[in-house]
Amino acid sequence: MTTLSPALKQATPVIVDHAHGSWIHGTDGVDYLDFTTGIGVTSTGHCHPKVVAAAREQVGKIIHAQYTTVMHKPLLELTDKLGEVLPAGLDSVFYANSGSEAVEAAIRLARMATARPNIIVFQGGFHGRTVAAASLTTAGTKFSAGFSPLMSGVHMSAFPYAYRYGWDESTAVEFALQELDYLLKTRTAPNDTAAFLIEPALGDGGYLPTPPAFMEGLRERADRHGIQLIFDEVQAGVGRTGRYWGHQHSAATPDILITAKGIASGFPISAIAASTETMSKAWPGSQGGTYGGNAVAAAAGVATLEVIEEEGLVENARLRGDQLQEGLTGIQARFPAIGNVRGIGLMQGIEFTTAEGLPDATTAAAVQQETTKHKLLTLTCGPDGNVLRLIPALIVSEDEINTGINRFEAALAAAVGTVPAAAGA
């Protein structure tokens, strides 16, 4: 009998029969509240009627209109729609299928546009699993161990992870910017540096919002040295953080923006956006691919962006995110196993630590397994695997957030034992 490769690890034993909105219905007959959204993908919830209708209609017209051979209407429409929400000046878009591919397209573009070789990434960043994207990923050695040599020309600088260092945010930002300046003096000269690549909030690296002052410090240095600033908005973009793009919590703007996941509610499509001037520096034909910008995915993308606008989902993400964070912070006061609750919008992380303040992956894993038993789907993340992340759909309701908080607390109590309020204070 053929089986799935054991190289594929699955966080829950759930086999899906069907799903709708924030709910996944398993073949075991159980309705699970889905706070994973396929790792931040099903932004409008599972099978939003408008997205389903758009995809169904497109399937009957043309499925694969290969975009280096012919052009199709959904991709032109999606480009118009994206144009309404992209930061000013980013008026040229290229499409691929996955986040990793878009990251690679951004790197290719930055190197061609600057004629410089090196990329600086920030510790804890996740940028994908293809070999070049894995070379840029420092969210854990599991993403790059065992298949070296990796792509060369990648240098890593510090990320202002205040909680880990035990500092306040401004001290962490100042330190990380100093380290970056030092790297530019000691390892990769500005004239050899094509790009800074950063997530506006670390995703797989631990659900940590990037401090606005750090984003702004990167922008200032990028301008000073002629370095391209690339924001990887694959997980944090398209409303998830309560702003359209995660970087909009700061005053910094990107030269190249990468998006995927949430733009098409589950259909595989990704994009990079830059100014026409920057895009024109790449030679024609340097980007492409068989499946990129698929017509059905693009039609679903147009419907997704319309739903986000019509249903006010960016604002909903902000409100429901605040509600979720407040509930989790209340739980933290009762459970000393939780060292830190942080996040932005519907991207919330719960970091588990031991009594000594060290990362506690065992408890995080136990809680994650318990949440499934309590009919709530969650994931872990972070280099130590000690962060539980909650990623509800942008359509999540107030009641669903309350249900999620209650189920999480019940699962936590089952995993670590109930702690009286006084002990956790």
Summarize as ranges the residues that interact with ligand PMP (CB under 6 A): 39, 98-100, 103, 126-128, 199, 203-204, 232, 234-235, 260
Find how far residue 222's CA is from the centre of its chain. Answer: 23
Q: What are the backbone angles phi and psi of residue 178, rounded to the nearest 5°?
A: -65, -40
Q: Whole-angstrom Cα distance, residue 235 to residue 231? A: 11
The distance of closest approach from Cβ of residue 424 to ligand PMP in the complex, given in angstroms and rounded to an integer, is 32
The distance of closest approach from Cβ of residue 337 to ligand PMP in the complex, given in angstroms and rounded to an integer, is 26
| Nearer residue to ligand PMP within complex by CB, 271 or 314 | 271
| Nearer residue to ligand PMP within complex by CB, 36 or 353 | 36
The distance of closest approach from Cβ of residue 333 to ligand PMP in the complex, given in angstroms and rounded to an integer, is 30
Find how far residue 47's CA is from the centre of its chain. Answer: 21
Peptide linkage before 149 cis (omega within 30 of 0): yes
| Nearer residue to ligand PMP within complex by CB, 37 or 325 | 37
| Nearer residue to ligand PMP within complex by CB, 259 or 332 | 259
| Nearer residue to ligand PMP within complex by CB, 54 or 103 | 103
H helices of 260-311, in order, are: 276-279, 295-310
The distance of closest approach from Cβ of residue 232 to ligand PMP in the complex, given in angstroms and rounded to an integer, is 5
Q: Whole-angstrom Cα distance, residue 226 to residue 190? A: 8
| Nearer residue to ligand PMP within complex by CB, 172 or 391 | 391
| Nearer residue to ligand PMP within complex by CB, 93 or 405 | 93
| Nearer residue to ligand PMP within complex by CB, 121 or 338 | 121
- What are the helix and strand counts (H, E) for the chain? 14, 17
180: Cβ–Cβ under 8 A, 6 or more apart, which residues? 120, 157, 158, 217, 218, 221
> Which residues face 96 on adjacent strands?
270
The distance of closest approach from Cβ of residue 201 to ligand PMP in the complex, given in angstroms and rounded to an integer, is 9
Q: In this structure, what is the dihedral angle of CA atoms 281, 285, 290, 294, given to the nearest 10 degrees?
A: 50
For the chain, the helix, strand and coil percentages under 3-state DSSP, each to the nearest 5 = 40, 20, 40
The distance of closest approach from Cβ of residue 237 to ligand PMP in the complex, given in angstroms and rounded to an integer, is 9
Among 188, 221, 143, 210, residue whose Cα is nearest residue 383: 143
The distance of closest approach from Cβ of residue 235 to ligand PMP in the complex, given in angstroms and rounded to an integer, is 4
- The Cα angle at residue 303 between residues 299 and 308, in degrees rounded to 5: 145
The distance of closest approach from Cβ of residue 249 to ligand PMP in the complex, given in angstroms and rounded to an integer, is 16
Position of minimal CB gap to ligand PMP: 99
Q: Whole-angstrom Cα distance, residue 103 to residue 94? A: 11
Q: Whole-angstrom Cα distance, residue 278 to residue 222? A: 14
Give just the sign of the alpha carbon dihedral 254, 212, 361, 145. Answer: positive
